């Protein structure tokens, strides 16, 4: 049964939704916009003044005016990241070039990649602090790309062949680790924490609020398109030339940053330290509600997806180790290429879930609780690990029978199942981190969510690798198991069993009824805080608003008294910004 407070919140939300449009994108719609929300700039006719008194102007179509430049940067950044991310293990162990490589074992390479990923998903905290308090979004993105990301890519590319400045005699492991553990992950971490916020801020926070939702859909699609392209192009080119393969990301990102800087005059750049997008509070109760919307609660919610993300973090490491002893499909499609199936699964499953499943459930007045979504995501992770165990059995059986390898396509279901799990785990966590966090801590909450997606899981995976290192060794204790003979003597299946237990734990925790109830209470408190901070707009009067206002003054006695006062004192009707027609009263001037 709804409480009085919940009923009042519903009424408030309904009233606000009727007053201002949320998709202003044409000149015709400007007639529905209050004068205080209009600017004199024809290219950016929408005006917004924040709680600190700063005014910003917005275009009617931000996607084609400025946002596309931000999306191109994100596309090529993700292309660079995933292209390198999915090929590092094979490169470091010598799969691409036996004569020039870091000569690492499979576990050493996997551990280094996991550590690099952990750094990349920890640095967003730094990016959020720099953007919000010191440099602003635009300068922080430039810092991440120009000072860290591009130098990191250049170092990685330079290390792929003998040269005068990194060394001609042997592979410069120290320089490569500097790139892989410092420049590259810090650059991608800084950019990742800010670029989506910068893109969303190109939209008017009130008059284009529904367009912001569309932006995040496009942003997520761009991430996956970049990931798919990187996973296809870089590993395939690496088979012919690892130098060319690792030079491509550097050149493409350099072009993207150049175009991004050329569009600087088009961006809405919020001043650092004054980046709070929330507007003035009318009711004066926001602080009380914001205090209830605790960041600690949001952090606890994000932690619930860590078990699934431990399974997700195996894609570039353990799945690669398993795939390295499987026969390439058509002679050139290998395990690093299969990560494309993860991104394709995200796109396909996301489309069906958002287009058919969620709308159908909504028509039946059914909403899947966040805890159940997390459990579903972890459930797909369980299926992915179970399939990997089945593949393990197939690898060992085929080698024992014929001494041959099985086709790498047998790994495909693992990637597809992981991608389906992302729809219910990772995408839901992104949403909760933004919607359930306090208004003044949303960026920090999003950074912590990234930490739970990549930072904590990769740190835990690193510990698991160390604890389970003996399972990745052949009978002679050698850790490099790139050959099917060595892999057959190892016990990688034991590691997959440990992963299975971890992800099953994630399913069990999220299915506890009290956990789902607690998550729902946190989301409800955050919704209350969000409503309290929503401004009461002042749109122009419409027949609907006048009718609603008139109904409030329909009591006969009250109407009669007001009409009498109107006749005695009114000098003419005036349109007030309280959505009702009232008379402007003034004392009658006495005739001299």
- Rounded to 5°, angle at Cα 62 from 58 and 65: 100
CA dist 181 and 95 (Å) reads 21
All domains of the chain, ordered by start, with CATH? 19-277 (1.20.1250.20), 302-530 (1.20.1250.20), 553-592 (no CATH)
* pLDDT less than 70: residues of the chain: 1-19, 51, 210, 212-214, 216-217, 273-293, 362, 434-435, 438-443, 526-592
What is the distance between the alpha carbons of residues 457 and 303, in angstroms, rounded to a whole number?
10
Please give the angle made by the CA atoms of 380, 445 and 276, to the nearest 5 degrees: 140
Given the structure tokens 């309904």, which residue do they identify? 14
Handedness of CA 549, 550, 556, 559 (dihedral sign): positive
Q: How many residues does the chain have?
A: 592
How many Cα atoms sit within 13 Å of 297 on the Cβ side? 23
Report field, pTM of the whole predicted structure over 0.75: no
Listed residue (325, 150, 338, 158) closest to 236, CA to CA: 338
Alpha-carbon span 570 to 182, nearest angstrom: 73
Quote the pLDDT of residue 529: 57
Q: What is the pLDDT of residue 260?
A: 97
Per the CB < 8 A criterion, the answer to whether 110 and 321 are in contact is: yes
pLDDT in tens, 393-438: 999 998 888 888 889 899 999 999 998 898 888 877 877 776 677 6
CA atoms of 368 and 384, how far apart (whole Å): 23
Q: Which two tokens stand for residue 549?
A: 């206002």
């Amino acid at each position: 049964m709804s409480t009085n407070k919940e009923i009042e919140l519903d009424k408030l939300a309904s009233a606000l939704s009727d007053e201002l449009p949320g998709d202003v994108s044409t000149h015709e719609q400007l007639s529905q916009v209050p004068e205080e929300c209009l600017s004199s700039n024809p290219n950016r006719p929408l005006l917004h003044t924040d709680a600190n008194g700063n005014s910003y102007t917005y275009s009617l179509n931000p996607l084609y005016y400025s946002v596309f430049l931000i999306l191109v940067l994100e596309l090529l950044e993700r292309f660079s990241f995933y292209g390198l991310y999915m090929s590092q293990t094979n490169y470091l162990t010598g799969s691409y070039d036996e004569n020039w490589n870091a000569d690492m074992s499979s576990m050493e390479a996997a551990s280094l990649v996991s550590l690099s990923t952990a750094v990349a998903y920890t640095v967003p905290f730094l990016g959020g602090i720099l953007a919000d308090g010191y440099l602003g979004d635009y300068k922080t993105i430039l810092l991440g790309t120009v000072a860290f990301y591009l130098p990191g890519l250049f170092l990685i590319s330079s290390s792929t062949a003998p040269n005068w400045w990194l060394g001609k005699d042997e592979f410069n492991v120290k320089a490569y680790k500097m790139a892989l553990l410092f420049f590259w992950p810090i650059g991608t971490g800084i950019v990742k924490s800010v670029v989506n916020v910068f893109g969303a801020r190109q939209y008017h926070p009130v008059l284009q609020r529904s367009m912001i939702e569309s932006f995040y859909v496009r942003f997520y699609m761009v991430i996956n398109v970049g990931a798919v392209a990187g996973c296809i192009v870089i590993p395939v080119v690496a088979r012919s030339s690892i130098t060319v393969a690792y030079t491509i990301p550097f050149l493409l990102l350099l072009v993207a940053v150049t175009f991004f800087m050329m569009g600087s005059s088009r961006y809405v750049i919020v001043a650092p330290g004054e980046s709070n997008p929330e507007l003035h509070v009318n009711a004066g109760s926001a602080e009380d509600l914001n205090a209830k919307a605790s960041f600690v609660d949001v952090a606890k919610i994000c932690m619930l997806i860590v078990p699934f993300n431990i399974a997700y973090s195996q894609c570039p490491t353990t799945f690669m180790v398993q795939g390295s002893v499987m026969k390439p499909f058509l002679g050139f499609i290998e395990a690093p290429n299969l990560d494309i199936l993860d991104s394709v699964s995200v796109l396909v499953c996301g489309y069906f879930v958002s287009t058919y499943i969620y709308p159908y459930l909504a028509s039946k007045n059914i909403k899947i609780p966040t805890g159940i979504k997390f459990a579903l995501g972890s459930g797909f992770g369980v299926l992915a690990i179970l399939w990997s165990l089945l593949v393990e059995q197939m690898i060992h059986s085929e080698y024992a029978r014929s001494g041959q390898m099985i086709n790498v396509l047998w790994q495909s279901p693992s990637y597809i199942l992981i991608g389906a799990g992302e729809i219910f785990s990772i995408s839901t966590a992104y949403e909760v981190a933004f919607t359930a966090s306090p208004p003044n801590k949303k960026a920090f909450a999003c950074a912590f969510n990234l930490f739970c997606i990549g930072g904590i899981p990769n740190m835990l995976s690193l510990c698991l690798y160390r604890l389970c290192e003996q399972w990745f060794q052949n009978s002679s204790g050698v850790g490099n198991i790139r050959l099917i003979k060595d892999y057959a003597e190892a016990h990688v299946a034991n590691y997959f069993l440990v992963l299975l237990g971890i992800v099953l734990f994630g399913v069990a925790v999220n299915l506890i009824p009290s956990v789902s109830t607690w998550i729902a209470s946190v989301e409800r408190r955050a919704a209350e805080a969000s409503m309290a901070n929503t401004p009461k707009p002042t749109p122009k009067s419409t027949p609907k608003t006048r009718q609603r206002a008139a109904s409030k003054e329909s009591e006969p006695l009250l109407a009669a008294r007001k009409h009498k006062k109107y006749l005695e004192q009114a000098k003419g009707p005036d349109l007030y910004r309280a959505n009702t027609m009232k008379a402007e009263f003034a004392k009658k001037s006495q005739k001299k």
